[in-house]
Amino acid sequence: MKAAVWHGRRDIRIEQFPDPPPPGGDEMRIRVDWCGICGTDLEEYVNGPLYIPVDRPDELTGRKAPLVIGHELVGTVVELGPNVTEFELGDRVAPDTLLFCGECWYCTRHLVHQCRKLAILGLMTDGGCAEYVNAPARMCYRLPAAIPSETGALAEPAAVAVRAVRTGGVKLGDTVVIVGGGNIGLLCLQVALLSGAAKVYVIEPHESRRRIARSLRAEQTIDPTAVDSEEALMDLTRGAGADVVLECGGNPATMRLAPLLARPQGTVVMIGLHNEPIGVNLFPVVCREITIKGSFSHIYDVDFAEAVLLLGTGKLIAEPLITARIGVDDAVEKGFERLLHNKGEHLKILISPQNQS
């Protein structure tokens, strides 16, 4: 089959790759319709290997590079493992792509996203940027007939947003501020509004992304390159600050800013990933009794299921975030490279592994 295969940093090759083996007992083979490029995939392309095993095979999957990239996928069921009864051939599904051992302390408490052996399809084993992929049936969710397949490709980042907004405890009437209006931030904006937030502000340097935020009913957007974001938010909230701050920027500046935007006794949820120490002044956190929480990934039957449900009802919309649809042969030049160099212009780029030249 044709696939986008990660061989090393700046070395993703579009090449022939062996088909997945026949699906195991609880697995299904999925013919991939679309696979989104995620920020993590881009990081693996530019700065990897970060999660992709290179020297030793992954403990859970037994796989190491080269492997098929991509974990934001949607497709059609084409083969059922012998124990799968709840799906039929032809079902369109979005699979949650977190694989877990099922036995560790965390898994037995259903904190599967914290599994000691956590593995992700498309990072620790072959993923979705290929004609076919195998996935465990219990982690797949059927898409309602009314929604296009493309929408399902956003289920994974939407599940991140669902968990983050839940972690923040956003409730009716809240004022929320999102730091960083990228894919995750714009999904958090929508989920916060669905959770009852009265006003959601979005801080984002790119005008194109601020425009999308406003079209998705952000109360107002703030350009951090033009004004002091903290001052601007304090003005907008008449000096109060936000009930909940969702940090979706993932750089030292956004991470330092986030706690300064919360009201006394407010909550800050850290979602952005930045694997370096950053200097943060915790004085305001102490004096203003602010709670800082992390939110990581999602749990398949908790957050992912809800994300598919919200996308399926049309309450959560993916379309404004999809900025390009490309065939697999163009995955590097028109996918990864474009995201790298035209950040303001692109949000989610979807790859069709079936569309080949």
Of ligand NAD, Zn ion, none, which one does residue 331 interact with (CB within 5 to 8 Å by kind)?
Answer: none
Which residue from 271, 316, 321, 322 is in contact with ligand NAD, where contact means CB under 6 A? 271
Please give the radius of gyration of the chain, using alpha carbons only, rounded to the nearest integer: 20
Stretch touching ligand NAD by CB under 6 A, among 45-53, 80-88, 289-297, 308-316: 289-297
Q: How far is the CB of 348 from ligand NAD (least distance, A)?
A: 9
Q: How far is the CB of 19 from ligand NAD (least distance, A)?
A: 29
6 binds Zn ion (CB under 5 A): no
304 binds Zn ion (CB under 5 A): no
Site string for Zn ion, 49-88 (x = CB under 5 A): ----------------------------------------
152 binds ligand NAD (CB under 6 A): no
49 prior amide bond cis, ω within 30: yes
Stretch touching Zn ion by CB under 5 A, among 30-38, 82-90, 248-256, 258-266: 30-38
**Residue 229, SS3 per DSSP:** helix
Q: Do residues 239 and 156 lie in contact, with contact meaning Cβ atoms separated by under 8 Å? A: no
167 binds ligand NAD (CB under 6 A): no
Count of residues of this chain found to bind ligand NAD when the rule CB under 6 A is applied: 27
Site string for ligand NAD, 202-241 (x = CB under 6 A): -xxxx--x--------------x-----------------
Find the helix packing angle between 155-168 and 305-312, rounded to 10°.
Answer: 110
* Pair of tokens at residue 327: 């065939």
Of ligand NAD, Zn ion, none, which one does residue 297 interact with (CB within 5 to 8 Å by kind)?
Answer: ligand NAD
Residue reference for tokens 């934001």: 72
Residues 88-107 interacting with Zn ion (rule: CB under 5 A): 100-101, 104, 107
How many alpha carbons lie under 13 Å from residue 205 in its C-beta half-sphere? 8
Which residue from 35, 42, 65, 115 is in contact with Zn ion, where contact means CB under 5 A? 115
Our measurement of the distance from residue 11's CA atom to the centroid of its chain's CA atoms, rounded to an integer in Å, reads 23
Q: How far is the CB of 205 from ligand NAD (least distance, A)?
A: 5
Q: Which residues contact 204 (CB under 8 A, 6 or more apart)?
A: 178, 180, 181, 182, 185, 210, 213, 221, 222, 223, 224
* Pair of tokens at residue 175: 């004022």
160 binds ligand NAD (CB under 6 A): yes
Task: Report d(CA 239, CA 328) in Å as an integer.
Answer: 50
Q: Do residues 323 and 346 lie in contact, with contact meaning Cβ atoms separated by under 8 Å? A: yes
Task: Report d(CA 16, CA 179) in Å as an integer.
Answer: 41
Count CB neighbours of 205 within 10 A.
17
Nearer to Zn ion, 261 or 328 (CB): 328
Task: Report d(CA 83, CA 329) in Å as an integer.
Answer: 35
Task: Report d(CA 81, CA 27) in Å as an integer.
Answer: 5
Which residue from 137, 248, 258, 307 is in contact with ligand NAD, where contact means CB under 6 A? 248
Of ligand NAD, Zn ion, none, which one does residue 272 interact with (CB within 5 to 8 Å by kind)?
Answer: ligand NAD
Site residues for Zn ion per CB under 5 A? 38, 100-101, 104, 107, 115
